[in-house]
Amino acid sequence: MNTGTGHPASSSSRGFLAPILAGGILAGAIDLTFAFTYNGLVNGTPPLRILQAIASGWLGMDAFQNVYPAAVIGFLSHFGILIVAAAMYYAASRRLSMLREHAYLSGIAFGIAIYATMHLIVLPLSAAPPFKPKWFSMAADFSVHMLLLGPAIALAVRYFDRRAGR
């Protein structure tokens, strides 16, 4: 398919990259903003420590020894996970139009799925030390996933699909 730009795949590349990157980056920014703000206000935890905790999924307790390298790993891992989640939602939305047509409601369900996958599969299989969050912290995190992260991904996919004329 030639788009008139001389690059046959440029239109299709933009077609899937925009919703995936926009959804993943938006969801990642929302989640980190929540984590930094909530943990900073409630627990006095600085942002670098949050990023180290994320990196501990790969590095275990070593993540708390080298602040800046671990923080970079945590930052990149966090956004990487949410970009992959956005790619999964995008791929599913190619087959199930209801994911685009009812983006906010589908996003709520997807946010719940992201939360469940992280807490029931990813974290238990990671090298992260066992964290013992309080029930209010878990409820707040669940709410952010359900009401903001999943819908951010779903709405980005729908928005960029409409812009691409699909």
What is the DSSP annotation of 85-113? HHHHHHHHHHH-THHHHTHHHHHHHHHHH
Instruction: Please give the Cα distance from 135 to 10 (Å, whole number).
Output: 47
52 occurs within a structural domain: no
pLDDT tens digits for 51-88?
Answer: 999 999 999 999 999 999 999 999 999 999 999 999 99
4 occurs within a structural domain: no
1 occurs within a structural domain: no
Ranges of residues in the chain whose predicted pLDDT is under 50: 1-11
Alpha helix stretches (DSSP H) within 44-144: 47-59, 67-95, 98-101, 103-117, 123-125, 135-144
Instruction: Please give the Cα distance from 28 to 63 (Å, whole number).
Output: 20
Q: Check residue 162 and give its pLDDT.
A: 72
- The domain tally of the chain equals 1
Backbone angles phi, psi at 103, to 5 degrees: -60, -45
Domain that holds residue 119: 16-43+81-163
Closest CA to 50 of 69, 30, 71, 68: 71
- Calculate helix-pair angle for 47-59, 10-43, nearest 10 degrees: 120
68 occurs within a structural domain: no
111 occurs within a structural domain: yes
pTM of the model: 0.87
Closest CA to 154 of 98, 116, 77, 115: 98
157 occurs within a structural domain: yes
3 occurs within a structural domain: no
Q: Taking the mean position of all CA atoms in its chain, how far away is CA 64?
A: 23
Q: Check residue 14 and give its pLDDT.
A: 58
Sign of the CA dihedral with 133 first, then 137, 139, and 141 last: negative
7 occurs within a structural domain: no
